[in-house]
Each structure stands twice: as C-alpha cells, then as structure tokens.
Structure 1
C-alpha cells in the first residue's frame, strides 16, 4: 500500500526535489538555523526532519525558530499515535464510550435456561479488561440466566481477525515473548494478552504460577522456574507458543524466595478466543453453566438476537491518556480500525481513515499512514506535517487540553528515558516519542513548549538511521534536542 495526500503536482515535484537535496548534501548552517546541535547528526549520515516554531495567539503572529529539512518524509514510529489521538477526538469527542454486548436469539426461561447460543458481540473497545467482563457477567446473572444450552460465541464481525503486517505480529501467531505485538480483533480483552503471576514456592521447588484473571490458568503452563534462596537473584523468561490450535506458556529460570509475585504478559495467538475463555471462566464463577463450547465467528450477529447484558468501556479521554502515556500499540491500532468504515476493516482501511482526517489539516502536506500505532515502517510524515497537526489541535479549545494531556513533561512522565537535558527542557516541554530499532533506528519526538515569556510553540524532530547508521541512542538525540530547544525557549 502506498497512499499520499498531495495538494498539487507542483507541490510534489518541489517536495521530491527538496528530499533529493537533503539526501545528497550536508545541511547548510542557514538550513539548520535553530537546530545547530541536532545538525551534527546529519553530518554523521542520519536522516533528519526537524522544525520548531511559535504559535500565533491574539495579536501575536507565529514565528519560525528553527528548521532542518522540515518537509522531508521520514518514519515517525510511535509519534504516529498523535494522529490517532487527534482523529479519534475529532470523530467521537472525549466522552465517547465503546459498548460490548451479550446477545442471544433465545430468551431466558422461567427456570433460568437460555435455550440457544450466548453471543458476545465485540464493539472494538481498546480498553476492555476482565473487570468489564465480570460486570457484564453480573448483569447477565441479574436477568435470571443460570444455564446456556448452546455455545458461547464470540463475534468479531466488526473487524477481526486482522491480518498481520509486521514481523512481530506475524510471529505472534505461533510464538510470542512480549505483549506489544498483540494481535487485533474487535472482540479483544486485556489488550490481547494473557497474564499470569509467578510467585516463589518452597526453596528448591517450583515457583507457583497462577492466572491473573481466573482461578486456574486458561491455557497450558510449562513451568521450569525454580525457587532459590533469599540471597539469590530473580530472573526468568516466558514464551507463549501455539501448536495445533492450543496455546502454552513456557517458563524457565528462577525466582528468589524473598521476591514479590511478578506478573507476566504475553500476546495471545487468538485474542477473540482468549476473550471467550476468560468470559466462560467468569460465567462459571457466577454460577452460569455453558453446556456448549467456546467458538469464534466473524459473521454478523443474527438480526433476531436481543441484548441481554452490556458494558460501556472507559471514556475516550481515558483511553487516549493510557494509549499515549504508555505508547500502547494495541490500543492505537484498535482505535484506528474503529475509525474505518469498511466492514471487516484491515490496517490498510485504518490508515486510509487517518489520512482522510489529515487531508483537512491546513498546511500539513504529504503523509503515508499504514497503521495507527507506528509499528509499520511504511508510515511517513514530516516535521512540518506533525507540527501542522499539533497547531490544528492547539486551535481546538474544545479538544486541546484533552489531546495535550496524553503528552509527557520529561520531569514527571512515566517514561524515565526522557528525563534528560536541562531543567528548562525538563519542565517547559510536553512530548510524545517514537522508537523503532529495525530495520533501522528511528528516534522521533514531537510536542509543545512554553517560552520564558509564556508563548506556546510546537516542535517535531524525526531522526532515521540508514544501513550505514543502524543505531543511535535516545540519550544522544534528547541531549542535542534539549540544547537547541533551551536556546529557543530562553530567547523568546
């Protein structure tokens, strides 16, 4: 897929010419004005697009403070998530909630029997967790249902299973050693990941492994973690594997007897089936028996199925706070898929929905978006474009504070690696970062700053490595950005 929003043919010719120049020649001092320190990376072979400018306010006009190839299209990694946040707020507003429903074509009998299938209809809620399923289970119990004669059906008719387009997500179909590569479905729960808890047992014996969300683990556990003496260190690995439709978690290592229990999250091979198994366990705890099996379908729920119970998820403003603060890929791609109007939407449709939103942003320029999370290296934007988005949201008084709330002040944000630079940088900026390491390094950062005279500004820095510059540390990039922004903040 390769889509761009192009205002006119002269514009693309000029943009292409600018991009060629930026690849061929070193950045001149005039071109790098305001980003003198960051320009050092250009001379080392890194591709850079950077821009910082003051925003207009009242009778004050905006002012360019620095730029370095501002129109060059580069990979933004998780900076993509600011597009997803802005488009979601624009489409639904901050108080919007996604709804998950339990339905059936049957009606409960006087003695509590539901003579048919019980259907969970996924509503595409990125924040659906076990507590929500438990609330919905209790509401079903309150209707008098005590037994389901049919199957427990999980409907992912809205979207799912979503075809994987990144290496990590495709690998997760068979094996996963992380949670960030969670697969996507409109009927997912717990961010598409299994959770187990590992606690010490008796010294010399196996660790105790329990489920985070049920009395017993809902899939096989192969436990090779031993409990060691209190003076020992704790270290173990966990790999979730899938074979012949069954999932198994393999644990190896040791845990000290003095250690606190530790939670482990691993992406599920079938998140819709994971939802069904989790719900089945909760129905059992509530005293509701399901006689049939748990199965998943992408078919639409029958038209004669009526709602028996439902749960509304968290407001969008809370979803965005978590999605941006912790750069949650699952939540970002789920939101982008929710924006797509196509039935059984795929990430290509999600990208098209985001691009349609960007086309309405004044001064943005070309963009390519293939996902809402930034995991896809095919996403391309420029510093000028991201700043145009940030300015557009700044000019939305109904949405700006909620949009900006998901950005971090380095001095007190949850991501410790951004706590670098001077005290001015630490306290005068609000940022969203993006990181990729394969196939080349990507270090991207965007956000707002406040000058000493209390003026608002926007800035974006996109740094992409090449085959000859495969890696760069975040400390190196942030230290250089801090030095340049410090001067801009102090001078204005």
Structure 2
C-alpha cells in the first residue's frame, strides 16, 4: 500500500507548479503565503477569457481604485464636456454709480477645481458688470452640500489642525481644493525670519505664525507646517530653516472650513478688484432666492480635464466633491455620494456586490472585488463616446506622474494603463486596476486588490508592483 500512495503523492507534488501557474499570478500569489488577502483577475475583453485569477470574487478594500468607479459614473451622468458653474448673484441691481443695495451671494456650484485664479476672473467680471460697492454682505452659499460630516479620522482631525492637504473638508463652495497655500522665501540675511506670503496675493489672507529662520547659502532647507484653529481663526504655524539661496517653497495645508476659506479669500479678491463690501462676509446654508440675478459667472474646465487631475494625482477633495454632485437632493453626505455610484454600477452586468462610503476611497469601508472592478472597466470599453475620456485618466507606468509606478520591464511600462490605490491604516492596502494590450494588440483588463491584516501591518509598493509586472508581462507576451 505504501508504494501506490507514494506515487500518488509524487503525482500531486508535480501538479503543484501547474496549479500555481494556472492562477496566472504565480509571483503575486506568494503574498498570500505571507498572510495578505488577495483578489486578482486578468482577462481578455474580446472573448471574456480569464487569463489569471486569485479569489476574484473576494470583497476587499480598493482604496483609491474607487476613483475609477467615480470617473465612470461621472462620465455616464454628465458626459466628458460638462462644466460646473460658480455664480455671483443678487436680488438687487447695481445703480449707475456702481452701488449694489443688497447682499452679494456666491452660489457654490460644486466645482471641484475652483481656484483663486477663477475667483479673480469672477471678481473682474463683477467689476465689468458695473459693481463698485456692495451695501450688504458677501454670502457664501453652500446649499448644495457643506459642511459635509467627516467620517474619516484625518478629516475629523482637520477641523482643529492639519499637517497635510489630502484631508481637506468638503463644500460645494470650496476653493483651492479646500487647502490654504503660503509661500516661504528666505530673508535678506542669515538669522532673519523667512518671508512668508500667500500664494495668490502679496498679503496672506490667513494668520501666519512664522518661526522659520534664514540660514547661510547651501545650509539646507527644512520646513514644517501645521494649520491650527484658534478662536475660530485658521493659523498657519511654520518652523524650520531655509537657505539664503533657496527658491521659494509653496506649502499646502487643509483649511478647517472650506466655505469660510472661500469667504475670506473672495472678500480679499473683491477688494483687490476695487469692489468694497460694507457688510463683511458670511457663510450660509440657504439657497439663493429664486428671483436672484446672475451678475458674474465662471465655468470649470470640462469634466474630462477634471478627471485627469482626480485620477493622475488621486485628488481626494475633487473626488468626493464630484461624488457629492452626483446626489440629486441638497445637503448630500458622503454615503449618499457612494450610493449614487452604486446605483450606476447596478446596471453593469455581472459586477456583483459593491459598497462605497465615498468617491475618493479614503473610507476604509469601501468594498469591491477584482471581478467587479474588471466588469466596470469592460463596460466602459464598450462605450465609444466615453471610453477615450476614461482611459486617458489612467497612467502608463513608464510615463506616469507618480514615480513609484515606474517599475518593471519595458513590456509592463508601455503595455499597461492603470489606477492605483493606497491605504496604510487600519491595514495596508495596495490596489491596481486598468487595461493592458497584448503583443497581438488585443485589449485586456486586470485588477489586483491586496489587503493586509492585523498580523501583516506593512506592505510596500515594490512588493506588489514587481511581481505583478512579471505576471502581466507573461500574460501580454503569450496572448
């Protein structure tokens, strides 16, 4: 009896490499041996042939791969050329001498990429409309959404202090991605304080606590910055050193209230444009009166250009603002934005379960599978009016703006287009999803979701991208 059993064991042992290769991800699959959870699938689009799979239906966190869902839903809803409008309105009309006898209202239109450049253009158009003085107040209306309840740790902490820009809070009347920007330049001589100004004006529109010291040439520049809120005022606290021969450095930190940031910034812009506002600036949740007249208006870039920024730079503020815009009713929250994307995905055949608590992927409760994410990619591929705008938002590893993806062989670098997702807390998440072209020119889709556990707290990008590039190279070369 021992002899047949030995032969059976030998036979099964010989089969192990074949079974591993059949998964299509033999290199990537080794992460499972280290305790990581994986959902992976690669398949050809033209015949839906699966070329590799590891637990393709397993529900895992996609992190910022969520933004691929957002981009598809936004293109489906509005089309690539849609623009968001921001208006200055009032019930009053300016007199012949430029007096507006009433409130001036900024109607926040949910433009996710509104900047001070746009506000300056808005102020100039108001001046062009004949307004020189506002007798009432400047009201910042965020009636569509805002202030949006924070549901992630970073954003909740940002109400009091922030040492980054990605945790910006949300509003339909936000500007500069919900972040303050200050420019730090060296003083005239070593030992003097650095010179600090707002990025968009000679005078900073928020309070500065400047502790940066100027040091001699080539002594190095090390800057630390934290935005704190005291007595309902945002303060940028700066420390460190800057060399006398250093170039100015721009520093971005999330504001505590995007609508309040808008109020302070726009008020300064109006004053620079020669328009005085007697009543100061306030924020409001009220919708502008129906009888209000538009005095000035600016439009965003087309949606397809906005999505380039959302996807290439994984801009969380823009992503969540776009998701909130998808909600039909006012006073939207992040879960409703996620639900609007879920409703869109429900129409995609064979997608399977999807749970989204945000459009950015910052929320750790988001869940999808590799098979589901591939179903999304495949559905957009078959929509010729949307696919060019969608695929243009993805990065090629060889030419991507994110340096960490510039890895792997020339085949991986130039035959793949992808979106990545990263989370580090409460567990490590590394996610990749996109398209590939085989040597014969056939299109394929692939998604890899890798989630850590309590016993696997750390995962670097090379640990995922390096084996994935080897596996995808083999798939591309053999098909």
Same fold (TM over 0.5): yes
Matched ranges for 1:98-117 at <5 A: 98-117=84-103
Post-superposition shift, 1:136?
Answer: 1.0
1:208 to 195, 199, 214: 195
Give deviations 1:291-319, integer Å, cap 9, x for gaps.
11110001111222211111111100100
Matched, 1:139 2:125: yes
Matched ranges for 1:119-198 at <5 A: 119-198=105-184
Q: Is the 8 A contact 1:195 1:264 kept in 2?
A: yes
SS at match of 2:348: coil
How many residues were matched structurally? 463
Q: 1-side partners of 2:272 and 2:27: how far apart?
A: 61
Q: 2-side partners of 1:330 and 1:147: how far apart?
A: 33
Matched, 1:62 2:48: yes
Aligned in 2, Cα 1:412/1:107: closer, same or farther, shift over 3 Å? Answer: same
1:315 to 266, 285, 302: 302
2:384 to 386, 397, 408: 397
Aligned in 2, Cα 1:396/1:108: closer, same or farther, shift over 3 Å? Answer: same
Matched, 1:259 2:246: yes
Post-superposition shift, 1:31?
Answer: 8.9
Give deviations 1:21-52, integer Å, cap 9, x for gaps.
xxxxx999359610111110001100000000
- 1:46 corresponding residue in structure 2: 36
Post-superposition shift, 1:215?
Answer: 2.6
Q: Is the 8 A contact 2:20 2:26 kept in 1?
A: no
Under a length normalisation based on structure 2, what TM-score does the superposition of the two structures give?
0.95
SS at match of 1:29: helix
Post-superposition shift, 1:137?
Answer: 0.8
Aligned in 2, Cα 1:35/1:136: closer, same or farther, shift over 3 Å? Answer: same
Q: Which runs of 5+ in 2 are unaligned?
A: 1-15
Q: 2-side partners of 1:312 and 1:126: how far apart?
A: 11
Q: 1-side partners of 2:294 and 2:218: how far apart?
A: 56
SS at match of 2:170: coil
Give deviations 1:205-226, integer Å, cap 9, x for gaps.
1110000122311111000000
Q: 2-side partners of 1:215 and 1:275: how far apart?
A: 18
- 1:5 corresponding residue in structure 2: none
Matched ranges for 1:204-353 at <5 A: 204-353=191-340
Q: Which runs of 5+ in 1 are unaligned?
A: 1-25
SS at match of 2:121: helix
Aligned in 2, Cα 1:248/1:28: closer, same or farther, shift over 3 Å? Answer: farther
Q: 1-side partners of 2:275 and 2:18: how far apart?
A: 71
Aligned in 2, Cα 1:291/1:210: closer, same or farther, shift over 3 Å? Answer: same
Matched, 1:488 2:475: yes
2:409 to 414, 422, 427: 422
Post-superposition shift, 1:475?
Answer: 0.7
- For the aligned residue pairs, the C-alpha RMSD in angstroms reads 1.3
Q: 1-side partners of 2:238 and 2:123: how far apart?
A: 32
Give deviations 1:212-257, integer Å, cap 9, x for gaps.
1223111110000001111211101000001221110100100111
1:71 to 54, 57, 62: 57
- 2:8 corresponding residue in structure 1: none
Q: 2-side partners of 1:452 and 1:445: how far apart?
A: 21
Matched, 1:29 2:15: no
- 2:4 corresponding residue in structure 1: none
Aligned in 2, Cα 1:432/1:403: closer, same or farther, shift over 3 Å? Answer: same
Q: Which runs of 4+ in 1 moved over 3 A?
A: 26-32
Q: Is the 8 A contact 2:436 2:445 kept in 1?
A: yes
1:369 to 356, 365, 372: 356
Q: Is the 8 A contact 1:188 1:271 kept in 2?
A: yes
- 1:441 corresponding residue in structure 2: 428
Under a length normalisation based on structure 1, what TM-score does the superposition of the two structures give?
0.93
Q: Is the 8 A contact 2:44 2:50 kept in 1?
A: yes
Matched, 1:87 2:73: yes
SS at match of 1:198: strand
